[in-house]
Amino acid sequence: MKQPTFLLDGMPVPFEEGQTIMDAAMAADAFIPHLCHHPEFKPQGSCKLCTVKANGRHVSSCTMQARDGMEVENNTPDLNDKRRTLLQMLFVEGNHFCPSCEKSGNCMLQALAYELEMLSPHFDQFYPDRPVDASHPDVLLDFNRCILCELCVRASRDVDGKSVFALSGRGIGKHLIVNAESGRLADTDFSLLDRAAHVCPVGVILEKRKGFAVPIGQRLYDEKPIGQQMERLAARTAKVEV
Amino acid sequence: MQVSGASGVCLAMHEFSRRIAFEDVPTAGAFMVFGAHRDMFEVARNFAHFFAHESCGFCTPCRVGTSLVVRCMDKIAKGLGSQHEIREIFRIHRLLNVASHCGLGQAACNPVFDTLNKFRPAYERRLRSLDFEPAFDLDGALASARQMTGRDDPGAHFVGESQGFGVHP
Ligand code: SF4
Ligand code: SF4
Ligand code: FES
């Protein structure tokens, strides 16, 4: 039987039954912007960066199953405009000062902002009050940069079996919490060896005494824009990210 | 008249003879009737606060978008609004409509959008200018600096538009 195929911006993309649009695009090395998606974990569908138009309807490509003959719009001015607005929302919702951030150059949020030509935050800043947690001997948590993608939540629960992280609150007050009575990371069994210590796409979960290790010019997204790195993004696993 | 709850459609006086079909009542069969003495802008602003409060915060567009709409509506209510806020609301509405994870976010801007379209004067008479107004008060922002330096002379105040110095061209 012929392998089922859908069209991504006119390009035929083959897929296996049950694969999502995102899975198939990743396998075909075709870039769809995303933040909360990671090939190792169950899709979540919350950041909405991966929104595409499939047969005329807007859907999240990381959760939507591909269908034979589907026509998917991805890299269009209208969708990229919406994605830019979503990025601006994520930027103003937290406190992002890229020049002083250890993750700068290796950060997916920043890389997507470059990719989608976001030139300013546009909206007024929310300036939330999110104190850092420096209690752990090896890891610093800077909640100011959290985009609530729940990758650390999923990794700690599903891979490490520890459930160190969770999201709490609702609406604009939603925030990441640490599962300890004191709320401090030092009072959990979290360790640098955990999968969750290495999945954060932005600069929240940081190894202590290791900031700015790679010089500007050689960082992950200095070499190539994120739009040309789908192959690497698709190959993200525990082995390469530790 | 608001048909089918906060996320339904808002009907203006000229639509009163219109038939209400199945598509008009997506969420519930509720009706809210607002008398002629009601300010439809305040009604919509109240709905905007309701949705920001109800948003669960799971997806980006609804979590941040509903709060951004509240900010726009509050800015207009304070008399600091401009066409810029109206354009922002339309833009956020278009995004939430298609990108939100569930029906709450998809419909969150409906009452604001409908009243904006049908009761535009209620909005426009509150706008300070038809162009752009900053959300913050520059002179107010200097208050803490004045307190620290113990100054209150004219030189320590920002002279704004009203005094003849244009902040904007
Ligand atoms: S987390 Fe990313 S976007 Fe945020 S300040 Fe750091 S580099 Fe910038
Ligand atoms: S800490 Fe990082 S991985 Fe965890 S929810 Fe926040 S942004 Fe996502
Ligand atoms: S990547 Fe699909 S919603 Fe975040």
pLDDT at position A96 over 60: yes
The residue segments making up the domain with residue B79 are 39-124
Higher-confidence position of B29 and B39 = B39
Is residue A26 lining ligand 1, measured as CB closer than 6 Å? no
Q: Does some domain include residue B3?
A: no
A171–B60: do the CB atoms touch at under 8 Å? no
B59–A173: do the CB atoms touch at under 8 Å? no
pLDDT in tens, B100-117: 999 999 999 988 999 999
Among protein residues, the one whose CA lies closest to atom 2 of ligand 2: A200
Is residue A220 lining ligand 1, measured as CB closer than 6 Å? no
- Fold annotation for A98-241: Alpha-Beta Plaits (3.30.70)
Q: Does some domain include residue B139?
A: no
How far the first Cα of chain A sits from its last, in Å, is 41
CATH number at residue B113: 1.20.1440.230
Ligand nearest to the CA of A47: 3
pLDDT in tens, A2-19: 899 999 999 999 999 999
Q: What is the CA(A33)–ligand 3 centre distance, in A? A: 8
**Range in A94-108, B16-30, B145-159 the model is least confident about:** B16-30
Q: What is the CA(A60)–ligand 3 centre distance, in A? A: 6
Q: Does some domain include residue B105?
A: yes
Q: Does some domain include residue B100?
A: yes
pLDDT in tens, A173-213: 999 999 999 999 999 999 999 999 999 999 999 999 998 99
Q: What is the pLDDT of residue B132?
A: 66
pLDDT averaged over every residue in chain A: 96
Q: A5-79: which CATH number, 3.10.20.740, 3.30.70.100, 3.40.50.920, 3.40.50.720?
A: 3.10.20.740
A126–B67: do the CB atoms touch at under 8 Å? yes
Which residue ranges make up each domain of chain A? 5-79, 98-241
pLDDT in tens, A32-43: 999 999 999 999
B98–A82: do the CB atoms touch at under 8 Å? yes
Calpha distance A97→A118 (Å, rounded):
15
Model confidence at B131, in pLDDT bands (50, 70, 90)?
low
Q: Tokens representing A142?
A: 């800077």
Q: Roughly what angle, to the nearest 10 degrees, separates helices B60-77 and A77-93? A: 70
pLDDT at position B163 over 50: no
Pocket of ligand 3 (CB under 6 A): A 34-37, 45-50, 60, 62
Q: Does some domain include residue B56?
A: yes
Q: What is the pLDDT of residue B164?
A: 39
Could you tell which of A93, A108, A151 is best to mutate to test the pocket of ligand 2, judged by most ligand atoms within 8 Å of the CB?
A: A151
Q: What is the pLDDT of residue B3?
A: 82
Residue of A44, A50, A89 best to disrupt the B interface, most CBs of B under 10 A:
A89
Calpha distance B62→A51 (Å, rounded):
14
Calpha distance B91→B13 (Å, rounded):
26
What residues of chain B lie within 8 A of the CB of A63, using their CB? none
Q: Is B74 on the interface with A (CB under 8 A)?
A: no
pLDDT in tens, A101-125: 999 999 999 999 999 999 999 999 9
Q: How far is CA B119 from CA A21, B114, B123, B126, B132, in A?
A: 42, 8, 7, 12, 21
Could you tell which of A133, A148, A167 is best to mutate to test the pocket of ligand 2, judged by most ligand atoms within 8 Å of the CB?
A: A148
Residue of B63, B84, B85, B96 best to disrupt the A interface, most CBs of A under 10 A:
B63
H or E element that contains B64: helix B60-77
Number of folded domains that form chain B: 1
> How many CB pairs lie under 8 A apart between chains A and B?
74
Q: Does some domain include residue B153?
A: no
Q: What is the pLDDT of residue B26?
A: 67
Write down the pTM of the prediction.
0.90
Q: Tokens representing B149?
A: 């330096």
